[in-house]
Amino acid sequence: MVDLESAADTLRSGGLVAFPTETVYGLGADATDEAAVRKIFALKGRPADHPVIVHLASAAALGDWAENVPDVAYALAEAFWPGPLTLILKRRAWVPGVVTGGQATVGLRVPAHPVALALLGRFGGGVAAPSANRFGRVSPTTAAHVHTEFGDAVPVLDGGACGVGLESTILDLSGGLPRVLRPGAVSAAQLGAVLGEMMGEGTGEALSKPELEQDAPRVPGSLASHYAPHTPTFLLSSAVGVSGARDAVLARRPQAAEAARWLSLPDDPDAFGRGLYAALRDLDASEHARILVETLPETPAWSAVRDRLGRAATWQLEPESGSPVLERGVPEPKVVPVRAGPEKLEETR
Ligand code: TXA
Ligand code: MG
3-class DSSP assignment, residue 90: strand
- List residues near ligand 1 (CB under 6 A): 21, 23-24, 26, 50-53, 86, 88, 100, 103, 105-107, 109, 111, 129-131, 167-168, 170, 181, 219-221
What sign does the CA torsion over 75, 81, 84, 88 have?
positive
Cβ-contact 225, 110 below 8 angstroms: no
Closest CA relative to residue 328, chosen from 259, 229, 237:
259
Which has more pLDDT, 349 or 167?
A: 167
* Residue nearest atom 12 of ligand 1, based on CA coordinates: 130
Residue 255 confidence (pLDDT): 86
Centre of ligand 2 to C-alpha 25, Å, is 10
- Per residue in 270-328, pLDDT (tens digit) is 999 999 999 999 999 988 988 999 889 999 999 999 999 988 887 666 555 433 334 33
Among 6-20, 63-77, 230-244, the range scoring the smallest mean pLDDT is: 230-244
- Does 165 have pLDDT greater than 60? yes
User: What domains are defined for the chain?
Assistant: 4-213 (3.90.870.10), 233-337 (no CATH)
* Residue nearest atom 24 of ligand 1, based on CA coordinates: 51
- Per residue in 252-272, pLDDT (tens digit) is 988 888 889 999 999 999 999
Backbone angles phi, psi at 267, to 5 degrees: -85, 60
Cβ-contact 128, 40 below 8 angstroms: yes
- Nearest-atom index, ligand 1, CA of 23: 1
Query: Which ligand has the nearest atom to the CA of 179?
Result: 1
**For the chain, where are the E strands, in sequence order?**
17-19, 26-30, 53-55, 85-90, 105-109, 127-128, 169-172, 179-182, 233-236, 247-251, 261-264, 290-294, 315-317, 335-337
Three-state SS for 147-196 is HHHHHHHCCECCCCCCCCCCCCEEEECCCCCCEEEECCCCCHHHHHHHHH
- Nearest-atom index, ligand 1, CA of 164: 1
* Residue nearest atom 10 of ligand 1, based on CA coordinates: 130
Closest CA relative to residue 77, chosen from 119, 122, 110, 126:
110
* Residue nearest atom 18 of ligand 1, based on CA coordinates: 221
Cβ-contact 233, 308 below 8 angstroms: no
Backbone angles phi, psi at 262, to 5 degrees: -135, 115
- Per residue in 81-131, pLDDT (tens digit) is 999 999 999 999 999 999 999 999 999 999 999 999 999 999 999 999 999
Centre of ligand 2 to C-alpha 239, Å, is 31
Residue 316 confidence (pLDDT): 60
- Nearest-atom index, ligand 1, CA of 26: 6
- Nearest-atom index, ligand 1, CA of 52: 25
Strand pairing report for 335-337 and 315-317: antiparallel
